[in-house]
Amino acid sequence: MSSSPASPECRILVFASGNGSNFQALVDALAAGNIPNARITRLIVNRGKAYATTRAEKAGIPWEYYNLISHGFQARGETDPAKLQEARNKYDAALAEKVLALDEKTERPHLIVLAGWMYIFGKHFLAPIAEKGIKVINLHPALPGKYDGTHAIERAYADFQAGKLENNKTGIMVHYVIEAVDQGAPVLVREIECREGESLEQLEERIHSHEHSLIVEATAKIVGEIVASQQAQQ
């Protein structure tokens, strides 16, 4: 008598650098059943004092610290552009290798979520990950095609103050990660209108208040697609 096929499951690997509030939002959503047929298998951080690790321990999720400098890829204080790029390439490749070395049936992810990951991946990480069919998503505090890269909220606010912000709206998006920074196809987008008399800090707080729900909704959407694909192959 043949055994029944295993229930579809989407394994998620989360990368974070700091407080881990977006990671916590995912943990809470999974516990509440709002992201069905999924589990977080591991957290990877690149800052030793990231509070996200404490959150992981409380949730019983394994975590690992892996850093560009501490793990010997880049010399502290290095300024030579060629050596800096070489270090990043080697770090990216090693991190991809680490992910792909996880057990294919129990821990290797179907989805990687960058939840406050303060580092830009290049092709040496993204190409081998994509080759194995693993999706990578990121949350960025801007609308598609607007304010790519760092200080997105500050730049949108400055344009609003100067009367140059299109429709007086900025926003946040969860997008697929490609080599071009913050230019991957959007998964979900939320517009946020700037308000007269609002300080930069107030706008930042209002934008951040939407991040948790958006990263949960986007993750649930992609998990649903991955699980549906697994079911179709059974």
Q: Supply the residues annotated as catalytic.
A: 140
The enclosing H or E element of 13 equals: strand 10-16
Cα 122–chain centre separation? 14
25, 116 contact by CB (below 8 A): no
Alpha-carbon distance of 223 to 32, in angstroms, equals 15
Which residues, in sequence order, are CB contacts of 119 under 8 Å at separation 6+? Answer: 17, 46, 68
* C-alpha to C-alpha distance for 64 and 46, rounded to whole angstroms: 9
